[in-house]
Amino acid sequence: MKLHFQRRKRSRTLIAACSTVALTASVAFGNISSVFGVVQHESSNTTPANLPSAALAASSLIRVNQHGYVPNALKRASLVNSSNSPVAWQLRNSSGTTVLSGNTTVFGYDASSGDTLHIIDFSGYTGTGSSFTLAAAGNVSHPFDISSTVYRQLKYDALAYFYHNRSGIAITMPYAGRNDLTRPAGHIGIAPNRGDTNVPCAGGTGCSYSLNVVGGWYDAGDHGKYVVNGGISVWTLLNQYERNQYFGSSAADFGDGRMNIPENGNGVADLLDEARWELDFMLRMQVPADQPRAGMVHHKMHDANWTGIPLRPDQDSQDRVLRPPSTAATLNLAATAAQGSRIWRSLDPAYSARLLSAAETAWAAARANPNVIALDSDGTGGGSYGDPQVGDEFYWAASELYITTGKAEYKSYLQSSSYYQDVPSDYSSREPAMTWGTTEALGTISLAVVPNNFTSSELAGVRNAIISAATVFANNTSTQGYGTPLSAPSTGYPWGSNSFVLNNGIILGLAHDFTGNASYLNAMSQGMDYLLGRNAMDKSYVTGYGENPLQNPHHRFWAFQANGSFPRPPAGAVSGGPNSALQDPYAQSIGLPGCKAQKCFVDHIESWSTNEITINWNAPLAWVAAYLDEKAGALTPPTATPIPATATPRPATATPIPATATPIGPTATATPIVPTATPRPATATPVPSNTPVVPTQTNGSCQVSYTVSNQWPTGFTADVTIKNNGAAINGWNLAWTFAGNQQISNLWNGNLSQVGQAVNVTNVNWNGYLATGGTASFGMQASFSGTNAKPSSFNLNGVACSLAP
């Protein structure tokens, strides 16, 4: 287990906490005077005087996705209201006509926000249009659209972030989208720039050469370029491409000519062109063959000292330096270059071969130098990105190399790793599901998505790991008043909490791919609702989207708040969002310390700990937006009716809406997540590839738990868990007979056969292996009339099982 929850935040703190140099220019915001890293305040007013008041939407107590909802998806809003009884709500169209009405469900106190909430579920309305509003308890929400194309543009705007933050190329029209967003090329050696074409090692780092490291993406608000941040960002874009090849239906949306970048028309998918811009930079960061630690990769390169805000990249006069190589950076190149090699194999064989050579060279160098650690203390002029534990990077790199080459040495390494089949989902001590410093899930995902030489049981193991984590995230949405797939640990929300929501969304999307269970898709959709306004701040954390969008991210060029001659940000950039640690002086000085997790945020350019933007946060935004857009037209109309007016009031201290509440979602197949699914342990044992075992045990070798999770007059949902107490089983069949007229209409995580009252459920391809003590779970939705009696007996592969108490 990788225990570095606090360490990660400390690493990022150094990005600005060590910025002791003064701004290149002093900045005034009404009563606020600022130098970078040090802010003095004469007022608690956080609205800068030079920001037009018309741009600031009045807050509403009805928190909605301010951009819009998909017609046939789950559609929920949160109402801040202290009443212990349901209140009436109305959904109104642009003409003010009520098109749906109902009563709220009382949620009660929401710990992550400190708000007392009601839930409005308007999934029963499947019409389309613009400027809908919700009204309840004297409040009216921000307007929003209902359309199957609500995420169509966002998936492109999120990717445009990368072009805007390219280094070494002029940002020009028509690709910039707005004239004020154009700028000269940064860091190409034209005065006052020192340039990135001949960057020396920093003094005292033990190397004496210089490298041409032009290109790549600027990481965040500063002009540094970091291999570990670039690594997960490249991987996410390439994974989006690979997932489309094997599970998706929207590959053409990112093909040649579909993105607004200079390379469109070159015969290669635009998504790959953008990823290659960074991948080429990472190749340039590799230590030359004739130097000490040859084949390793420099951890980062950036200015020798911190620069101020505002500053165009071409105006940066600081010396540029290479920081020392690290094992983590070396493995990031090994992983992403291996991933890229298989993708470009048929597109550009020479480039593919170059990537594979670099990947295997990096792997060998990392094995020879397994403990060259990037230090948290290396934070002058750029973020430190310290990472003392690199076992997860070794596992990730071995996974990508195995998929690409099929070599037994890589398979042996990855399967012997303690990170094998790991997808973190426990927020109490880890950073799930993936960050730049927590990368094991990347390897597990690639093994689960991209065809390789895994056996069926090995494939089942990695996919089951993803599904187990997704189940945790999906169930989080029912325990959070704002429906987030993110639960707050006792320490509150971490730095970049919005990226956690997005990366959890990737896990949820993949679980939906593997199972078809729409509950995972609903949870993913609710995560996007949170980012786009259904949150305690009544804020869309994405620039250009919603009535109250992000406006002032921490960025040196998109710095209108600091200087009106600089541009506002383009649409599609996502803020890191609430951060309970509040490392920056600005957030600390305006009264935020002690804030509830969701309220530890301020939309101000100086708040680098809550309002930073980065490449590795926009990459999952692009992935999730594309996934939701792809699935928007595939959802079936809801069978659910609005919450009835006679709903029983929930007490003020009520527990959150259960994951199994009916309806869980508006689709006919949107069945509840199994609430008792147990997350996999962090050090899961590899699934053996043994042949099917014929059980010879007697009664007691297996146990079945059958739980009716929800019931209404004509139907019910049930969860079934099989526990194998005998010898290992590879392939199972659970049989029972209903006592009444129950008819299963939908079943997930298993294959159904029902004839009359007799039922047989067999495993799907990923959950057929049951080790001794192992469990498998599936769920169902069924109809009945009269009495819904539980089955009295079950047989597993022909052997009678005991019933769980």
Residues assigned a catalytic role: 554, 603, 612
Cα 80 to Cα 692: distance, rounded to the nearest angstrom: 55
- Secondary structure class of 736 (helix, strand, coil): strand
Residue of 430, 533, 528, 514 whose CA lies nearest to 468 = 514
39 membership: H or E segment, kind and range: strand 38-41
d(CA 738, CA 715): 14
Nearest to 238 by CA among 199, 194, 273, 285: 273
Residues in the chain, overall count: 805
Q: Measured between alpha carbons, how far is 736 from 799 in angstroms, rounded to an integer? A: 11
Whole-angstrom distance, CA of residue 623 vs CA of residue 515? 19
Greatest Cα pair distance in the chain: 84
End-to-end CA distance of the chain: 33
Q: Indicate left, alpha or beta for 538 from its phi (over 0: left) and psi (-120 to 50: alpha).
A: left
Run of H or E including 139? strand 139-140
| The pair of three-digit structure tokens given for residue 99, joined into one six-digit string | 């098109």
Neighbour tally for 272: CB within 10 Å:
21
Alpha-carbon gap, residue 10 to 12, rounded angstroms: 5
Q: Which two tokens stand for residue 105?
A: 């469900």
CA distance 164 to 181: 8
CA distance 23 to 185: 22
Could you tell me whether strands 62-63 and 76-80 are parallel, antiparallel, or unpaired per DSSP bridges? antiparallel
Chain Cα centroid distance, residue 35: 33
Q: Can you list the alpha helix ranges (DSSP code H) found in 125-174?
A: 154-164
Q: Check the CA dihedral 671-677-681-684 and report its sign.
A: negative
Amino acid at 787: T
Q: Determine the 3-state secondary structure of 254 from DSSP.
A: helix
Backbone φ, ψ for residue 245 (5° rounding):
-65, -35
Q: Which are the contacts of 726, defined by CB distance < 8 A and separation ≥ 6?
A: 695, 697, 701, 702, 772
